[in-house]
Structure 1
Amino acid sequence: MTMWFIDSEALRRPVYLSLADQIARAIGDGRLAAGLRLPPQRIMADELKISVQTVSRAYEELIRRGLISGEIGRGSFVRAEKPEGSLPYIPERLGEIVDLSILKPVCEPMHLEKMQTALVDLAANLPPSSVLSFRPNVVFPRHRQVAVDWLRMCGLEVQAPNICISNGATAGMTTALMSVATPGSTIATEAIGHHTLVPLASYLGLNLAALEIDDEGIIPEALDAACRSEVVRAVFVQPTVINPTASLMGERRRAQLAEVARKHDISIIENDVLGPLIEDRPPPLAAFAPERTLYVTSFTKTVLPGLRTGYLAVPDRMLSAVMNRHLVTNWIATPLIAELATRWVVDGTAAELVRWQRQALRQRQRLAAQELAGIHYRAHPEGLHLWIPLASVQEEELFVSQARLRGVAIAPGRSFQTGSISQPAVRISVGSTSEAELQAGLRVVGNLLRSAPEPLLLAI
């Protein structure tokens, strides 16, 4: 059997990743049809003159990517359906690869020590309601009152009863979407935006209208046009250091979007999980249109990944819908984690860790500027990531693959595409690994970009 879709001369170390990438491209461009049975591992190994273990690792990698399925006794098959959403990050494989693909704050031993200390204190002073009650209104009155102070720091004035304690931003997003739109409704959002939103909208039966963006995010005229051409129920927006484009929406633009939403009487879902990291940021959209904005924030990206709790601030008229939908999808946020977050807000630990994170990111962004000198990219000095525009979709795929072959994982721009509008690029996280590994990874990225043919980088 001839492996007609494999170019054995193009295999590079690590060979299993190179082989997996070639098979993935063959699946992506249709040369390997859905349902097709891949050659047995031993046959492929013999044809390509590589070890069976190498082929096995390549197949395992493709299974992790959701591109093939392995069936005991039958073999490996190209999946009949494409995976639901393209994840920008890879499964963590310590020691094998420098992972710059997942958006994560900088973490040091100090963070673990603080959590260990907090857990010891929690065990010694555990509120009975945190483990004995089923009722959110019994567990969370104090937490909501403390949340008022944290949201004020975020630039938002809100009353305690209007705050829903959630298990982080994804739970808040889900509840917000279910509260403003019924299945079949349309949600407008950035054409290049939140990677979780695409599969989440699909699961909820919602349609996405991908809006044109510029250096500040959604263009108000694009939202206005979408609202005039179809029934839009809400706009989902990330105004502060937008993931993935690293853009910061200015105050005037925020006010303009709020006015468009008010003009067409649509809701705003504002994802502001990165907001607290930016020291001099404009007020949130919720400050311009408090009567229609559901504001989502959390602690995982700004304080500690394991502190999986957050706040959903809700206008009066939507409060009943939000609380009911959160109740049936989550029932209650995890009380012990919420208790830890509340204590850290009260004693200043949360604010201290945000300030520490801000300084750490400034240092890492300076490091990125040194390693990527002369290369055009978009970033914020206090941001968790940077965004490198490329010339075409083909260059994006090639660049991600070449970086992986050199031991560096980066996120492809296609993972953030919410509609047919494409902006080829890659996202690079600056907080996901140690500073030494970040520097090594950025050096690989920089060398690849500088050595690539001229068309690779987007002309500016």
Structure 2
Amino acid sequence: MLPTWTPVIPAGVAPLYERLVAALRADIASGALAAGVRLPPQRDLAYRLGVGLGTVTRAYVEAEKAGLVSAHVGRGSFVNAPAEHRPYEREGPINLAQNIAPAAAAASRIAEALARLRRRADLSEHLAYAPPAGHESQRRAGAAWLSRTSAYEGVDWRRLICCAGAQQGLSVALNSVLRPGDVLLTEALAYHGLKALTRYGGWRTRGLPMDAEGLRPDALEAAIRATGARVLAVLPTLQNPTGRIMSRARRDAIVEIARRHDLTIIEDDIYGAYALDAPPPFAVLAPERTFHVSGVSKTLAPGLRAGFLVAPAAETFERAVEALRVVAYAPPAFGGLIATQWIEDGSADAILDETRDEGRARLALARQILGAAVETPQSPMAPHIWLPMSELDAERLAGRALRGGAEVTAPDAPVVEPGHESGVRICLGAVGDRETLRRGLEIVAGALSSEVGERSRAVI
């Protein structure tokens, strides 16, 4: 039977691949797709639906796991008989898509931290709403942590706001300085959580060209003149997804432009602790106009949801506190309290040291397996790596890796401005151990080899 199935994808907030699986399930249940029908090739269906190849690939994999279809190498995917609609029992793909720190160092210390909390004199205070910017002990601890780990010397704890993770810190900063319809400048490739915030906030984004150091100053100057934008969101240290680090000269050039055009800088420094030789953050170079965002999710444990936002001045601090109050009423208490306990008693430094050591080993393993495909990392403990390639090659690689059992970051996830750069981000920290990481990286290496082979055959 010819593969002519063209589903109607239901509307909703679920990821597109999940809604595509739902359409497949509905068409099988209604009889529109009979048992044995061959589904269209993934590339053909992606073209007809006007969606990314990675979306269709993920949907086909999930449909197979759910028992809806059976995939046969060289033949395609076929609809199963109804009796066969049962979950396909196998381990999920190896997680190379999620950028989090290895958990072992924190897990070995959490029980002791909880025991120590029982002896804190301020424990019961955390049962009430926190003060508008957070408990003073947590704000002081956050300032000390930024000073120790991110070269943010002289941070004033009185301008620090405790948040439920760096993502909330970004949200608060953006809502403090932008109105619906305003333009936000950022890198052409950026953190996908920032993209989600801009869509939700109704702000227009302009993604700016990059080079080996990240955002280009000339592109920033041109965009300010063209759009009248007054806010820049930037990740200067171990940029996500590329892992690039801005030099001091590059940062100075951007500061000069920002001062000349009265530009506010929102600086995401969540990976600063993994770049020991990075230049000072923008919050040091231009403290009068920089919101500094950081936290402990990439260094201690993401479940703590302890983030820090440092505002540039008294007026912006008050606006940021009000923005937080509107969405959360008060900062969270107990996740930040555990982080504070660890920072105060030295456990946080020990966790970070172990995590850095593990990061070095994992990055070395990735470079050994993937070789020249990896853009040269700018820190020996970088938690993510970048494989530059064309958009089509990136989609193919992600699809092959997923079918092989390893999930990488969706190639379109970081794209703010198409047509500038493309590639695949691989995260090294989410898997539980190095042996699992090795297997995942070898799957990616195999997918890269297949891609090279296909291109060679095409030339012939």
Q: In the alignment, residue 145 of structure 2 is paired with which amino acid? A: W
SS of the residue corresponding to residue 372 of structure 1 reads: helix
Q: In the alignment, residue 166 of structure 1 is paired with which amino acid? A: C
1:41-56 equivalent positions in 2, closer than 5 A:
41=29, 44=33, 46-48=35-37
Match of 2:93? 97
1:383-402 equivalent positions in 2, closer than 5 A:
383-390=382-389, 392-402=390-400
Cα 1:393/1:137, change in 2 over 3 Å: closer
Match of 1:291? 288
The worse-fitting range, judged by mean Cα deviation, of 281-290 and 41-50 is 41-50
Match of 1:4? 4
Match of 2:341? 343
Match of 1:249? 246
Instruction: Give, in angstroms, the shift of residue 129 of structure 1.
Output: 5.0
The worse-fitting range, judged by mean Cα deviation, of 381-390 and 152-161 is 152-161
Instruction: Give, in angstroms, the shift of residue 377 of structure 1.
Output: 2.9
Match of 1:450? 449
Instruction: Give, in angstroms, the shift of residue 206 of structure 1.
Output: 0.8
1:217 aligns with 2:214: yes
Gaps of 5+ in 1: 7-22, 61-92
SS of the residue corresponding to residue 202 of structure 2 reads: coil
Select 2:424's aligned residue among 418, 426, 436: 426
SS of the residue corresponding to residue 136 of structure 1 reads: coil
1:116 aligns with 2:111: yes
Match of 2:75? none
Match of 1:282? 279
Cα 1:59/1:395, change in 2 over 3 Å: farther
Instruction: Give, in angstroms, the shift of residue 403 of structure 1.
Output: 0.7
Counterparts of 2:37 and 2:249 in 1: how far apart (Å)?
59
Q: In the alignment, residue 40 of structure 1 is paired with which amino acid? A: I
**TM-score computed with the length of structure 2 as normaliser:** 0.80
SS of the residue corresponding to residue 371 of structure 2 reads: coil
Gaps of 5+ in 2: 7-15, 40-61, 70-88
Q: In the alignment, residue 116 of structure 1 is paired with which amino acid? A: A
SS of the residue corresponding to residue 210 of structure 1 reads: strand
Asked if structure 2 preserves the Cα contact closer than 8 Å seen for 1:103 and 1:384, the reply is: yes
Asked if structure 1 preserves the Cα contact closer than 8 Å seen for 2:133 and 2:160, the reply is: no
Counterparts of 2:251 and 2:295 in 1: how far apart (Å)?
21
Aligned residues: 400
Match of 1:155? 151
How many percent identity over aligned positions?
Answer: 29
Q: In the alignment, residue 138 of structure 2 is paired with which amino acid? A: H
Asked if structure 2 preserves the Cα contact closer than 8 Å seen for 1:192 and 1:418, the reply is: yes
Counterparts of 1:230 and 1:43 in 2: how far apart (Å)?
50
Asked if structure 1 preserves the Cα contact closer than 8 Å seen for 2:117 and 2:123, the reply is: no
Select 2:363's aligned residue among 365, 386, 407: 365
1:260 aligns with 2:249: no
Match of 2:47? none
Instruction: Give, in angstroms, the shift of residue 128 of structure 1.
Output: 4.6
Counterparts of 1:196 and 1:259 in 2: how far apart (Å)?
28
Match of 1:332? 330
Asked if structure 2 preserves the Cα contact closer than 8 Å seen for 1:246 and 1:386, the reply is: yes
Match of 1:441? 440
Q: In the alignment, residue 389 of structure 1 is paired with which amino acid? A: P
1:107 aligns with 2:103: yes
Q: In the alignment, residue 384 of structure 2 is paired with which amino acid? A: H
SS of the residue corresponding to residue 414 of structure 1 reads: coil
SS of the residue corresponding to residue 303 of structure 2 reads: coil
Counterparts of 1:49 and 1:205 in 2: how far apart (Å)?
42
1:382 aligns with 2:381: yes
Select 1:40's aligned residue among 28, 37, 48: 28
Instruction: Give, in angstroms, the shift of residue 272 of structure 1.
Output: 0.3
SS of the residue corresponding to residue 188 of structure 1 reads: strand
Asked if structure 2 preserves the Cα contact closer than 8 Å seen for 1:210 and 1:421, the reply is: no
Instruction: Give, in angstroms, the shift of residue 397 of structure 1.
Output: 1.6
Q: In the alignment, residue 185 of structure 2 is paired with which amino acid? A: A
Match of 2:235? 238
Q: In the alignment, residue 131 of structure 1 is paired with which amino acid? A: H
Match of 2:86? none
Cα 1:131/1:43, change in 2 over 3 Å: same
SS of the residue corresponding to residue 46 of structure 1 reads: coil
- Residues 305-336 of structure 1: CA distance to partner in whole angstroms, max 9, x if unpaired? 22210211111131111111111112222111
1:312 aligns with 2:309: yes
Asked if structure 1 preserves the Cα contact closer than 8 Å seen for 2:132 and 2:330, the reply is: no
1:179 aligns with 2:179: no
Counterparts of 1:421 and 1:335 in 2: how far apart (Å)?
43
Match of 2:42? none
Q: In the alignment, residue 100 of structure 1 is paired with which amino acid? A: L
**TM-score computed with the length of structure 1 as normaliser:** 0.80
Cα 1:115/1:383, change in 2 over 3 Å: same
Counterparts of 1:114 and 1:297 in 2: how far apart (Å)?
22
Instruction: Give, in angstroms, the shift of residue 414 of structure 1.
Output: 1.1
Asked if structure 2 preserves the Cα contact closer than 8 Å seen for 1:272 and 1:296, the reply is: yes
Instruction: Give, in angstroms, the shift of residue 133 of structure 1.
Output: 2.5
SS of the residue corresponding to residue 373 of structure 1 reads: helix
Q: In the alignment, residue 57 of structure 1 is paired with which amino acid? A: A
Counterparts of 1:245 and 1:37 in 2: how far apart (Å)?
37
Counterparts of 1:334 and 1:363 in 2: how far apart (Å)?
34
1:200 aligns with 2:197: yes
Cα 1:422/1:111, change in 2 over 3 Å: same
SS of the residue corresponding to residue 250 of structure 2 reads: helix
Q: In the alignment, residue 360 of structure 2 is paired with which amino acid? A: R
Cα 1:58/1:394, change in 2 over 3 Å: farther
Counterparts of 1:439 and 1:397 in 2: how far apart (Å)?
22
Select 2:226's aligned residue among 225, 229, 233: 229
Instruction: Give, in angstroms, the shift of residue 44 of structure 1.
Output: 3.4
Across the aligned residues of Structure 1 and Structure 2, the Cα RMSD in angstroms comes to 3.0
Match of 1:170? 167
Cα 1:404/1:266, change in 2 over 3 Å: same
Asked if structure 2 preserves the Cα contact closer than 8 Å seen for 1:194 and 1:243, the reply is: yes
Match of 1:143? 138
